[in-house]
């Protein structure tokens, strides 16, 4: 019924206002006459986990934005950004949160005792200490799970603290709208149903992007491709207009020749661009810049997180049944740690450990590194899994 009413009103605007009024007036008419149907008592009936209903709602908004702008070439997301509108699924959540804020601060005359429907966490935990984290009630059915005071708990808890700390309704609305517009720019995807809401409709948990991609076969090949693409884009940006590698202890390639060479080629191109001299070999450019090869630098970062203060003893190597487990961080770090000289492992402080470790790798760069020899790229030979001791 709601969709039918909104459809009829949108068709009425198309028949009577097309070509007569500008896009600004059409936008106001749409918000007043069409969007209002979706917002009335949405706390009771708004769909939460039904894919078809949410897509049906978004289709109304998509048709309306195309009509207001009179431009079908832009995508739906571009229409929303140009008109400064939120997706309808975001807007319904915005209305829910504003209603809850009003109830929380006594701006609505609530007939029942409002505190009976929710409670704040108490205790010494990180979440409870803020005084703004709601306690999630237990529910046995999916219908009760989508009840307003249950679903609002997850949404409220996932908001940033500066929004929940707002003193007035106007500041809360302003901060909340900015928060949702940021989500529209960075996360909304019309083809991805999970991006329609603040709380994922399927797994019922806030969406957090760790920046790490795992392929279906549990390998890191997709993440490596993403990292190489990011590095290529940043290098292209530097070339046009004038490096951080996240989570390398997890995804850093160990035994794949193609992946190691692919990562190393980024630094090769970067040093050639910075020097503007392609006559020098890669090793000479690294020495001139006092840079380590990228494969050495990843090992340096791994070892920097594994320093132990005094013992200098060898670590026990765990048995590995699969190649995936063999390349697991705490297995591969054992071989690297055991192959280090004793004076490095006996370092008392992190700074002295890093200084000695960097000198050790620079010595390897001078004496053993060969960009054309795959076995010299890492401290532990990727093929035979033995330490390359020629430079020690």
* Same structural domain, 143 and 105: yes
Give the span between the Cα atoms of 174 and 59, in whole angstroms.
26
Burial class (CB in 10 A: 0-12, 13-18, 19+), 233: exposed
* Same structural domain, 97 and 19: yes
Amino acid 383: pLDDT: 64
201 inside domain: no
Domain total of the chain? 3
Domain final residue pick, 291, 310, 338: 291
CA end-to-end distance (rounded Å), the chain: 78
Give the span between the Cα atoms of 59 and 74, in whole angstroms.
15
* Same structural domain, 166 and 188: yes
Give the span between the Cα atoms of 32 and 312, in whole angstroms.
73
* Same structural domain, 39 and 173: yes
- CA 247 to each of CA 211, 252, 268, 298, 313: distance values in angstroms, whole numbers, following the listed order: 9, 8, 22, 10, 27
203 inside domain: no
Query: Residue 206's beta-bridge partner residues?
Result: 199
Nearest-10 Cα torsion for 272, 277, 278, 279 = -140
* Same structural domain, 22 and 107: yes
* Same structural domain, 277 and 387: no
Amino acid 309: pLDDT: 41
379 inside domain: yes
Query: Residue 199's beta-bridge partner residues?
Result: 206
* Same structural domain, 386 and 325: yes
For residue 59, the enclosing domain spans: 1-195
Q: Smallest Cα–Cα separation from 369: which of 268, 344, 361?
A: 361
Structure tokens at 357: 């470790």
* Same structural domain, 43 and 191: yes
* Same structural domain, 366 and 353: yes
* Same structural domain, 25 and 112: yes
Structure tokens at 279: 């006559």
217 inside domain: yes
200 inside domain: no
202 inside domain: no
Phi, psi of 318 (to 5 degrees): -75, 150
Amino acid 307: pLDDT: 47
Domain final residue pick, 161, 195, 229: 195
Amino acid 308: pLDDT: 46
Task: Centre a 10 Å sphere on the Cβ of residue 380 and count the other Cβ atoms it contains.
Answer: 21
The three-state DSSP-derived secondary structure of the chain is CHHHHHHHHHHHHHHHHCCCCCHHHHHHHHHHHHHHHHHCCHHHHCCCCCHHHHHHHHHHHHHHHHHHHCCCCCCHHHHHHHHCCCCHHHHHHHHHHHHHHHHHCCCCCCCCCHHHCCCECCCCCHHHHCCCCECCCCCCCHHHHCCHHHHHHHHHHCCCHHHHCCCCHHHHHHHHHHHHHHHHHHCCCCCCHHHCCCECCCCCCECCCCCCCCCCCCCCHHHHHHHHHHHHHHHHHHHHHCCCCCCHHHHCCCCCHHHHHHHHHHHHHHHHHHHCCCCCCHHHHHHHHCCCCHHHHHHHHHHHCCCCCCCCCCCCCCCCCCHHHHCCHHHHHHHHHHCCCHHHHCCCCHHHHHHHHHHHHHHHHHHCCCCCCHHHCCCECCCCCCECCCCC
Q: Along the 392 residues of the chain, how does pLDDT read in single tens digits?
A: 777 888 788 888 888 877 777 788 888 887 888 887 777 676 666 665 566 777 787 888 888 888 888 877 788 888 888 888 888 888 888 888 888 888 887 777 766 666 666 666 665 555 544 557 777 666 666 666 667 777 788 888 888 888 888 889 999 999 998 888 888 888 787 777 667 777 666 655 555 445 566 665 666 677 777 788 888 888 777 666 554 444 555 455 555 667 777 778 888 888 888 877 667 888 888 888 888 887 777 777 777 655 444 444 566 666 666 666 666 667 777 777 777 888 888 888 888 888 888 888 888 888 877 777 766 767 767 666 666 655 44
Amino acid 246: pLDDT: 46
81 inside domain: yes
In the chain, how long is the greatest CA-to-CA distance?
Answer: 85
Phi, psi of 380 (to 5 degrees): -105, 125
Does pTM surpass 0.75?
Answer: no
375 inside domain: yes
Domain final residue pick, 174, 195, 216: 195
* Same structural domain, 186 and 224: no
* Same structural domain, 119 and 176: yes
């Amino acid at each position: 019924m709601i969709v039918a009413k909104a459809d009829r009103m949108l068709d009425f605007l198309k028949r009577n206002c097309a070509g007569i009024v500008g896009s600004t007036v059409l936008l106001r008419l749409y918000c007043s006459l069409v969007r209002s149907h979706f917002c009335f008592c949405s706390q009771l009936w708004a769909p939460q986990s039904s894919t078809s209903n949410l897509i049906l709602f978004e289709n109304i908004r998509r048709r309306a934005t195309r009509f207001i702008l009179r431009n079908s070439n832009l995508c739906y997301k571009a229409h929303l950004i140009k008109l400064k509108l939120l997706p309808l699924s975001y807007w319904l959540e915005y209305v829910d949160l504003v209603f809850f804020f009003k109830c929380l601060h006594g701006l609505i005359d609530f007939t029942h005792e409002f505190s009976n429907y929710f409670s704040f966490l108490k205790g010494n935990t990180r979440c409870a200490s803020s005084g703004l984290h709601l306690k999630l009630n237990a529910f046995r059915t999916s219908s009760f799970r989508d009840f307003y005071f249950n679903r609002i708990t997850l949404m409220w808890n996932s908001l940033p603290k500066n929004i929940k700390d707002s003193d007035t309704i106007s500041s809360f609305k302003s901060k909340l709208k900015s928060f949702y517009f940021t989500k529209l720019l960075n996360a909304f995807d019309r083809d991805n149903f999970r991006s329609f809401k603040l709380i994922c409709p399927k797994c019922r948990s806030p969406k957090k992007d760790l920046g790490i991609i795992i392929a279906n076969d549990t390998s890191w090949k997709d993440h490596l491709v993403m990292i190489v693409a990011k590095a290529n884009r940043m290098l292209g940006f530097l070339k046009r207009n004038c490096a951080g590698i996240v989570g390398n202890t997890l995804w850093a390639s160990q035994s794949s020749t193609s992946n190691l060479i692919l990562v190393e080629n980024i630094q090769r191109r970067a040093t050639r661009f910075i020097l503007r001299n392609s006559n020098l070999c890669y090793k000479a450019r690294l020495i001139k810049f006092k840079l380590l090869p990228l494969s050495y630098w990843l090992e340096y970062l791994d070892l920097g997180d594994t320093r132990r203060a005094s013992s200098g003893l060898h670590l026990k190597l765990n048995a590995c049944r699969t190649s995936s487990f063999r390349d697991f961080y705490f297995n591969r770090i054992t071989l690297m740690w055991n192959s280090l000289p004793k004076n490095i492992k006996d370092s008392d402080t992190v700074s002295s450990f890093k200084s000695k470790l960097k000198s050790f790798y620079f010595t390897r760069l001078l004496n053993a590194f060969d960009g054309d020899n795959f076995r010299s790229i890492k401290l532990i030979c990727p093929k035979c899994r033995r330490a390359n001791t020629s430079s020690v």
